[in-house]
Structure 1
């Protein structure tokens, strides 16, 4: 099953992308359910319309997606059938080509994601007690800086 490269998500991808998100939530016992499914669908449709979402598809449809507004990565999820095939890395590489720096928050309890982001060049910037996220879970702010940012490029200022 060969995947296509990252492309802009379309509204008709929303139900399948939401299913990927919900599948992850069901597989993470530490993650509380805090929103109704219809809210997730509404938000996913809104950010897709805004052009924030890029998707990688395989023969069965959307296999992974990233939601990014400028330098902020809001979400990155890969369907279980497609994990280990480099799709998350491809989405991050696509985002890195579009922005000189990236930032994201990851749940402290999500050790798999933390390790993945570290392997992709993200570094821990700070931690929070979770008061700033919907789930109220401790989380970690992670940053990635391009080579030009590391050389003090003013476009990288926070």
Structure 2
């Protein structure tokens, strides 16, 4: 599959929102939004120019939302998993800033392995992100190496 990365436009809110909604519906212990709320949330991130989408001939395959150095969201369509789309989105973000950080649930072992392979270093949780959270959030940090 040929994939092109580009800045999201307002017309991408529906596709990115659907990818987010579908992903959250499958995740254990995730706060589930309605499909309309997920589309609205993605629309706001797109309006703020935070979102890069991965496009193929069949449409949006994934997206990364970044506010400065913080990765706020990284999701791929279920049919696009395992095709290095997430890796490509993260590599693009790494080219744009010298440091990145994010949080992911301790229960999301797949995401934790992905970020570790992408060069992010885990910072063990000191406390629960929310009092009702069953798993504490883990922070991951990536820092561009500075040549001596």
**TM-score > 0.5, shorter chain as reference:** yes
In structure 2, the residue matched to 1:16 is 15
Gaps of 5+ in 1: 152-158
2 CA distance for matches of 1:147 and 1:41?
Answer: 36
1 CA distance for matches of 2:41 and 2:28?
Answer: 23
In structure 1, the residue matched to 2:111 is 113
Please state if 1:2 is matched with 2:13.
no
2 CA distance for matches of 1:19 and 1:38?
Answer: 9
Pairs within 5 Å for 1:1-158: 1-4=1-4, 6-33=5-32, 35-127=33-125, 128-131=127-130, 136=133, 137-148=135-146
In structure 2, the residue matched to 1:155 is none
Gaps of 5+ in 2: none
1 CA distance for matches of 2:86 and 2:121?
Answer: 17
1 CA distance for matches of 2:31 and 2:74?
Answer: 18
TM-score, structure 2 normalization: 0.90
What RMSD in Å do the two structures reach over aligned CA positions?
1.8
Moved over 2 A (4+): 35-43
TM-score, structure 1 normalization: 0.85
Q: Secondary structure at the match of 2:49?
A: coil
Q: Secondary structure at the match of 1:30?
A: coil
Q: Once the 2 structures are TM-superposed, how far is the Cα of residue 57 of structure 1 from its aligned partner?
A: 0.7
- Is the Cα contact below 8 Å between 2:50 and 2:65 reproduced in 1? yes
Equivalent pairs counted in the alignment come to 146
